[in-house]
Structure 1
Amino acid sequence: MSSRRRTIASLVVAALSSLLALTGTVAAQSENRDLIDGLEYQLLYVALPLTLFVLMILIYAAVKFHDNDDPEPTTEDPALEITWTAATAIILLFVGLSGYSVLVNPYVSPSQANDVDTSGSQEDIESFDDLPETDDEEVHVRGYQWEWQATYPESNVTTENEIVIPADRNVTFWLSSDDVVHSLFVPDLGIKQDAFPGDYTRARTIVSEPGNYDAVCAEFCGAGHSRMDAEIVVVEPDTYDQWLETNEGSNNVTTAPVPE
């Protein structure tokens, strides 16, 4: 086998190994993560055979024509051109529909949720108290240089750099900023939402797996940006209710441990 063929074969093996490595499945801990992973796998299952097809054509052309000293232009083939144009349109339609079905989901685009009255304008909202009501567990999250503060309005509990939420319940995070643009990003849960000064944005999730999840600021916000992180603590619903009851009325920032 010539060195050129060995190189091509090595590239093909490397590409296939990389693509196959991406197909490994990991159980999603939240509805958000499940939706995002599902879309990625759908697109991957389309991209993988297309990639193999293109690689096969590339190898065929490289092997068949590498010694061709007198190449001729490709002859016109209307049927082939119509076929690949139609195939491309079908693939793009599939990608568009798959992406749209995820983007309009209320866990990815919370404004699409049907349990919130979104008829009011942002101009009518001057504080967290003016936010529309939801049927979810609600947490008011304030970002500021360079901390996260979470308030539980129904229990008057506030925490610093720790957000406690119940598992298997719909949770809404209402976010705002005191100074510059921040962004709450929880990679393992598929949550990412910007927090703007003077505005209020919504992130929504339901987490199935109790545990501790890292949260960071994903928008550069100054010298302390790299250390602006927090912890999302997901506990069983009974534990969550007990924690709120224990700290109810403690308007001051608390770091009270979550009961085991």
Structure 2
Amino acid sequence: MNLKRAAARTLVGLAFLAALLAQPVAAQNSLNEALIQGLNEKLLYVAIPISILVEAILIYTVVRFRESNVDEATPTKENRRLEITWTVATAIILLFVGVASYQVLGVVAIGGVTAASNPDAQPAAVTEDFEGAVGPNPSEENAVQIEVVAQKYYWTYKYNEANVSGLSTNDEPLYLPKNTTVYLHITSTDWLHAFHVPDLGLKQDAFPGQYNTLKTVAYEEGTYQLYCAEYCGVGHSQMLGKVQVVSQDEYQEYLESKQSQGNESSA
């Protein structure tokens, strides 16, 4: 009875996983998240049939040989055809996983933007003379560039565009325009931090004295949680922030308000 219950529970669990795959895919919050979730779905389509097969063989073996006398057990015999089959099948599965993963990890939105991956890039609009920052391609005329600076234990953002320069916010959210290519030039003023927004699929290390450029396109307006993903001292757990995805009009209004504040303070 216990064996049957265990088998039934296993089958129910596998059926539940299969049902999850059958559900319609929810809208993704960003280009980065869409790429990551797409890879996860591909791997699930491979993992679930394998799990069902392995569990089915395991249940069959337990049921079939549950009353076998151990003293009468005979040594297993070599089955070359079976060994070749599972070796080839394993190689095919690993090849599929490797190719699917490389297609995602090789995309600049996931692996980060480098000079090698973006050879036609324009100079990055940043305020420090550090290496590593990579600007957008000439075809990305409307791309937005933002400098993200990590420091114990807060974030600073500088918006560098044609009519806006050097705007920074310490206690305000990082504003991103919806459906717009954004280049985030990430650095640090002290030691290692990591810029991480899970719901947007964004994660990049922040090193002192250099930039790591991250590319994204946000699809859904809303507020997203920002974390530091590298332990950076006693205040690490408090190094939080918000990312606010807004419409183009709201984004321009925010920049204009910050620019006017800067002009008033300088006057």
TM-score class, shorter-chain normalisation, is 0.7 to 0.9
Inter-CA distance 71–20: structure 2 relative to 1 (3 Å threshold): farther
Contact 1:177 1:195 in 2 (8 A): yes
Task: Judge which range, 143-152 or 230-239, deviates more.
Answer: 230-239
Task: Report the alpha carbon displacement of residue 248 of structure 1 after superposing the two structures with TM.
Answer: 2.1
1:28 corresponds to 2:28: yes
Task: Output the CA distance in 2 between the equivalents of 1:158 and 1:68.
Answer: 74
Q: Which residue number corresponds to residue 79 of structure 1?
A: 81
Q: Which residue number corresponds to residue 239 of structure 1?
A: 250
1:99 corresponds to 2:98: no
1:108 corresponds to 2:119: no
What percent of counterpart residues are identical?
Answer: 37
Q: Which residue number corresponds to residue 7 of structure 2?
A: 8
Structure 2: gaps spanning 5 or more residues: none
Given the alignment, which residue of 173, 185, 205 partners 2:216? 205
Q: How many residues align?
A: 246
Q: Which residue number corresponds to residue 62 of structure 1?
A: 62
Contact 1:158 1:250 in 2 (8 A): no
Q: Which residue number corresponds to residue 42 of structure 1?
A: 42
Task: Report the alpha carbon displacement of residue 16 of structure 1 after superposing the two structures with TM.
Answer: 4.1
User: TM-score with structure 1 length normalisation?
Assistant: 0.86
Task: Report the alpha carbon displacement of residue 115 of structure 1 after superposing the two structures with TM.
Answer: 4.7
- Map Cα deviations across residues 216-255 of structure 1 (whole Å, 9 max, x no partner): 1111111111111111111111221232123226559x9x
Matched letter for residue 159 of structure 1? T
Task: Output the CA distance in 2 between the equivalents of 1:26 and 1:10.
Answer: 28
Q: Which residue number corresponds to residue 179 of structure 2?
A: 168
Contact 2:28 2:34 in 1 (8 A): yes
Inter-CA distance 230–117: structure 2 relative to 1 (3 Å threshold): same
- Map Cα deviations across residues 55-98 of structure 1 (whole Å, 9 max, x no partner): 00000000001111122222222111111111111111100000
Task: Output the CA distance in 1 between the equivalents of 2:3 and 2:134.
Answer: 65
Q: Which residue number corresponds to residue 91 of structure 2?
A: 89
Task: Output the CA distance in 2 between the equivalents of 1:128 and 1:197.
Answer: 9
Aligned Cα RMSD in Å?
2.5
Task: Report the alpha carbon displacement of residue 18 of structure 1 after superposing the two structures with TM.
Answer: 5.1
Task: Judge which range, 92-101 or 150-159, deviates more.
Answer: 150-159
Task: Output the CA distance in 2 between the equivalents of 1:251 and 1:164.
Answer: 17
Task: Output the CA distance in 1 between the equivalents of 2:214 and 2:154.
Answer: 18
Matched letter for residue 44 of structure 1? L
Task: Report the alpha carbon displacement of residue 184 of structure 1 after superposing the two structures with TM.
Answer: 0.8
Matched letter for residue 224 of structure 1? G
Matched letter for residue 41 of structure 1? E
